[in-house]
Amino acid sequence: NAGVTQTPKFQVLKTGQSMTLQCAQDMNHNSMYWYRQDPGMGLRLIYYSASEGTTDKGEVPNGYNVSRLNKREFSLRLESAAPSQTSVYFCASSPVWTANSPLHFGNGTRLTVT
């Protein structure tokens, strides 16, 4: 049982390049999330998908797009990468969107934009 799987683990981009971060979960969870983690700032929610077929903006959505491809997969796209998007990106899932529904995190993608 893999849980939440993110690819790639590491990525270096030049300013202006685009890329897609992939996330898949095998726990049959309804809700999925993308966070970014910057030094000294904890995690910030970029986008979430409360259920298959829906996506919504979180705290820091600018510069990102998402796709809930199916119940298992939730991808994050950077259309034109900027140095400010250098960060560690975490995908998470939870059984449902309600509060008492623990988040299960992937191992993260470390992205550097030069």
Chain positions contacting another protein, by CB under 8 A: 31, 33, 40-45, 48, 50, 58-59, 88, 90, 92, 94, 97-105, 107-108
Q: Is 85 helix (H, G, I), strand (E, B) or coil?
A: helix
Three-state secondary structure string covering 54-79:
CCEECCCCCCEEEEECCCCEEEEEEC
Q: Minimal distance in Å, beta carbon 59 to another protein?
A: 7
Closer CB to another protein, residue 21 or residue 92? Answer: 92
3-state class of 83 per DSSP?
Answer: helix
Rounded to 5 degrees, φ, ψ at 106 are -80, 180
**In the complex, minimum distance from the CB of residue 84 to another protein, in angstroms, rounded to a whole number:** 19
Pick 63 or 108: Cβ nearer another protein: 108
Q: Provide, rounded to whole angstroms, the least separation between the CB of residue 15 and another protein.
A: 25
Question: Nearer Cβ to another protein, position 40 or 53?
Answer: 40
Which residue, 103, 62, 76, is CA-closest to 18? 76
Is residue 45 classed as helix, strand or coil in its secondary structure?
Answer: strand
Of 14 and 99, which has the nearer Cβ to another protein? 99
- The CB-of-33 to another protein minimum distance in angstroms stands at 7
